[in-house]
Amino acid sequence: MERSLVSVVAPVFNEIDVLDAFHSRTSAAMRAIEGIDYEIVLVDDGSSDGSWEHMTALAANDDALVLVRLTRNFGHQIAITAGVDVAQGDAVVVIDADLQDPPEAIALMVERWREGYDVVYGIRVAREGETRAKLWTARIFYRILRRFTNIDIPVDVGDFRLLSLRAADQLRELREKDRFVRGLVSWMGYNQIGVEYEREERFAGETKYPLRKMIKFALDGITSFSSLPLKFASWLGYVASALAFVYMISVFVQKWMGYTIEGWATIMVAMLFVGGVQLICLGIMGEYIGRIFNEIKPRPIYVLQEVRKGGPLGQRGTPESRVGIEPATSPRGT
């Protein structure tokens, strides 16, 4: 059987306490899969805790490691994009470095890939070590997103997935800046299938998705794949106008009957209601306009500082020596 190269891409942001365990478990899991060679692409997303130095120490003794260093913290979804751009595999696996997604599940993903599937995503049947509030909000978010969009985004599915070469190449062509990777992968189509796994408790460290980032992540997902919030703003405007028209008629009726109530209460309620509706609509439109503004700026999605191949020689390279910064063609292209 011809051997295939499988790339494992893992974003790293201040994960120094996890790196040894992640490297050990992932390497063991990949060695256990028959008929493949592998590389582990670690993307340092602007870490400040010494993660990069620890990664280089690991790479000195493991030529399967490929280290990617971004010039600053660009965010989790962009770090995934950088890793996929650099990866050279016939298949690319995206996984977080915190060991909540078990590397041992990659074997089942590879098996499904060999059966002909282009995308194999992990379905979380259990989530250890997470609060009820986090579980509840995640459940609501995935179902709202699926209902709002016109593409089939699986529920209870994160970024842990395998992409075939043609799926990874297609993802490299999608260069929008406010990225929601799992939505982009669903939008591409291809043959997709899920495999179930139990998500483990974080091995060490703290979550890199506080409430502020979770809200932004949710907004990116909804606004990237649905125009329903804009329609909601229109409906809200129609409702406010209808209520104002009804109230205007009631004022005329009261005036005609000689029954009027003096005072500011009614006027203030009407003004606050209409003003609130206007601000909500402006806020929704502002979210979309802000994303349009972001997309039209001719900046790259990220900036690579260094790409380093593991091994005793510790080979370094410029970004262009491994992959173009703006891959209009894939790294396997011309």
User: Cα(103)–Cα(258) distance, rounded to whole angstroms?
Assistant: 78
Question: What is the spatial distance between Cα 121 and Cα 82, in angstroms, rounded to a whole number?
Answer: 19
Q: Among 9-23, 151-165, 288-302, which is the least confidently predicted range?
A: 288-302
Greatest alpha-carbon pair distance for the chain in Å reads: 94
Least confident of 19-28, 93-102, 187-196, 217-226: 217-226
Q: What is the reported pLDDT for 310?
A: 78
What number is the average pLDDT over the span 239-252?
66
Q: What is the pLDDT of residues 128-139, one digit of tens each?
A: 656 666 666 666
The model's pTM is 0.70
Q: Give the tens place of pLDDT for each residue, 204-232.
A: 555 545 556 566 656 665 666 666 666 66
Q: How many CA atoms lie within 13 A of 294 on its CB side?
A: 14
Count CB neighbours of 218 within 10 A: 18
Our measurement of the distance from residue 116's CA atom to the centroid of its chain's CA atoms, rounded to an integer in Å, reads 25
